[in-house]
Structure 1
Amino acid sequence: MVLKSLSDEDRARARAKALQSRTRRAEVKNAFGSGRLGITELLDMTAEDEAVGRLRVADLLESVPGVGEIRAAALMERIGISPNRRLRGLGRKQRAALIQHFTDAPPPTKE
């Protein structure tokens, strides 16, 4: 695959956009880890916020105090989430399982 050669201006714009996205993901992880942002609100943000949608589930889980790489991997395996899955790519059941895990709410019922 041949990459399109970028001008210096295009390259600078791409670097600025990447920095903005990384900063946004760091803010979201910090807010979630500290409890200022709930899992439901965070998952709702994925539809309109590209940077949040591209956040890896493992990185989000590891931002929670007391959850490291091993616990995050175990939780993801129990729920059935691939190790490299991003928030926007979560299925309906995976989202519901994460919400239930973090809110201790009863599982949703089909009506």
Structure 2
Amino acid sequence: MSLPTLTPEERTAALHKSIAVRQERRAILEDLKHGRRTLAEVLGDDSKTVTRTKVRRLLESLPGVGPIRAAQVMTELAIADGRRVQGLGGQQRARLQEMFRPAA
């Protein structure tokens, strides 16, 4: 299957849309990193930007979680490396929220 031929205007519109999505994703991950949003809030967000974000990237945005800890958590919860948030099961979501519940 070949890609559709886009007009210059369609290409420009697609470029602007992709830039907007990347900026929105970056803002969400920054909020998570700096504690302005919790993991539970982000996982509860049903926007396309969140649901299409890779779980590994989301975990690595948490304070104190780096690539090694993120890999350990994903292995422990049987989450595939390329899994996106929309592909998480209910139990996986619940366990993630439980593991990274903010301290009261």
Aligned residue in 1 for 2:18:
18
One-letter identity of the residue aligned with 2:56:
A
Identical columns (%): 40
Q: 5+ residue gaps in structure 1? A: 106-111
Mapping 1:83-94, distance limit 5 Å: 83-94=81-92
Q: 5+ residue gaps in structure 2? A: none
Mapping 1:30-45, distance limit 5 Å: 30-45=30-45
Aligned residue in 2 for 1:52:
50
> TM-score, normalised on structure 2?
0.92
CA distance in 1, matches of 2:73, 2:2: 39
Per chain length, whose mean CA-contact separation is higher, i.e. which structure has more relative contact order (CA < 8 Å, sep 6+)? 2
CA distance in 2, matches of 1:104, 1:34: 13
* Residue-pair matches, total: 103
Aligned residue in 1 for 2:75:
77
Would you say the 8 A contact 1:57–1:87 is kept in 2? yes
Runs of 4 or more off by more than 4 Å in structure 1? none
> TM-score, normalised on structure 1?
0.87
Shift of 1:96: 0.4
Aligned residue for 1:2, secondary structure, equals coil
CA distance in 2, matches of 1:43, 1:11: 31
1:78–1:104 distance in 2 versus 1, CA, 3 Å: farther
One-letter identity of the residue aligned with 2:88:
L
Aligned residue in 2 for 1:27:
27
1:103 aligns with 2:86: no
RMSD: 1.5
Shift of 1:65: 3.0
